[in-house]
């Protein structure tokens, strides 16, 4: 064992014992080393020669791509370190979808995608139509969805359509189904966020046969702490509030077992 390595060993030993003075001669150094009986020479040498990476918490590239029409949410995602795509309230365009499925916007191999459901993927924002349908009969929900829910604020459009056109009308934008399928086949985890009721979102995705492509859905009831004042703890876990996007990001990070530093994810 060389002299400099011995000096480092002694320095660590004396710091642990509240001693700052280091012997400047080899005899004194070896005398101290002899008192360190917990480790063999080989073990102590390995302690100093291992890779620095094993002691440094190196943060990997953030593997998330966030899509929303809300400019504030997009900025927050950027501040968090996510790659983003901001769209207008007409949602994803054919070009957006093509850029996504061809890999122009992010790498499939190391990226997961977070999407705000309403407007981005759908033709209408159904927040006003949302309700807890956990115990609602599936046939009744389907009938209500086709007759009322899927139209959102587009009731005038519905009146101008024939019966066949109404049946063919989809809540989701053209190309969304194919996009989700392609991403799923590329092993990209897809997270949907919404301020609507969890069961409502699940039932809609199932109706359009899209649920199988989704890794998980996050609503206020899944994460708590909506973006509003709450009157009780119970209230914090109710759906139908405006999403606290910051909290949603935290929940997704926890779900993936990959939390960031707390300073980057303030909960309030």
pLDDT digits (tens, 9 = 90+) for 20-48: 444 444 444 444 444 443 343 444 334 43
Q: Give φ, ψ of 191 to 5 degrees.
A: -110, 130
Task: Render pLDDT for 220-233 as a digit per residue (tens, 0 to 9).
Answer: 888 754 444 444 44
Q: At what angle do helices 41-49 and 3-16 cross, to 10 degrees?
A: 90
pLDDT band, residue 74 (cuts 50/70/90): very high
SS3 227: coil
Give me the pLDDT at residue 188, please.
Answer: 97
Average pLDDT estimate for 193-197: 93
b/e sequence 144-153, b meaning 16+ C-beta within 10 Å? bbeeebbbbe
Closest CA to 154 of 90, 77, 58: 90
Return the closest-CA partner of residue 119 out of 171, 166, 74: 171
Length of the chain: 268
Mean pLDDT over each residue of the chain, to the nearest integer: 78
Token reading at 100: 């996504």
- CB neighbours of 245 closer than 8 A, spacing ≥ 6? 70, 73, 76, 77, 193, 227
Determine phi and psi for 52, rounding to 5 degrees: -60, -30
> pLDDT, tens digit, for every residue of 137-179?
999 999 999 999 999 989 999 999 999 999 999 999 999 999 9
Q: Encode pLDDT of 246-262 as tens digits.
A: 778 888 988 888 764 44
The 3-state DSSP class for residue 130 equals coil
Place of tokens 């390595």: 5
Contact 21, 14 (CB under 8 A): yes
Q: What is the DSSP letter of 169?
A: -
- Give residue 216's pLDDT: 96
The 3-class SS string of 133-165 reads CCCCCHHHHHHHHHHCHHHCCCHHHHHHCCHHH
């Amino acid at each position: 064992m060389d002299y400099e390595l011995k000096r480092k060993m002694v320095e660590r030993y004396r710091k642990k014992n509240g001693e700052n003075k280091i012997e400047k001669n080899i005899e004194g150094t070896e005398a101290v080393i002899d008192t360190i009986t917990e480790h063999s020479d080989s073990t102590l040498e390995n302690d100093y020669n291992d890779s620095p990476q094993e002691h440094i918490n190196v943060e990997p590239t953030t593997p998330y791509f966030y899509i929303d029409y809300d400019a504030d949410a997009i900025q927050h995602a950027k501040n968090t370190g996510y790659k983003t795509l901001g769209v207008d309230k007409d949602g994803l365009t054919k070009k957006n979808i093509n850029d996504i499925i061809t890999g122009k916007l992010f790498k499939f191999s190391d990226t997961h995608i977070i999407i705000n459901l309403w407007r981005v993927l759908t033709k209408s924002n159904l927040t006003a139509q949302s309700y807890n349908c956990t115990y609602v009969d599936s046939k009744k929900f389907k009938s209500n969805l086709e007759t009322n829910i899927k139209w959102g604020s587009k009731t005038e459009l519905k009146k101008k359509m024939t019966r066949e056109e109404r049946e063919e009308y989809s809540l989701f934008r053209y190309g969304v189904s194919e996009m989700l399928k392609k991403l799923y086949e590329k092993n990209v985890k897809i997270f949907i966020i919404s301020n609507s009721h969890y069961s409502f979102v699940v039932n809609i995705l199932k109706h359009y046969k899209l649920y199988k492509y989704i890794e998980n859905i996050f609503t206020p009831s899944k994460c708590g702490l909506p973006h509003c004042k709450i009157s009780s703890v119970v209230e914090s876990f109710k759906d139908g509030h405006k999403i606290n996007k910051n909290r949603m990001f935290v929940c997704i990070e926890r779900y993936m077992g990959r939390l960031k530093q707390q300073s980057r994810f303030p909960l309030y």
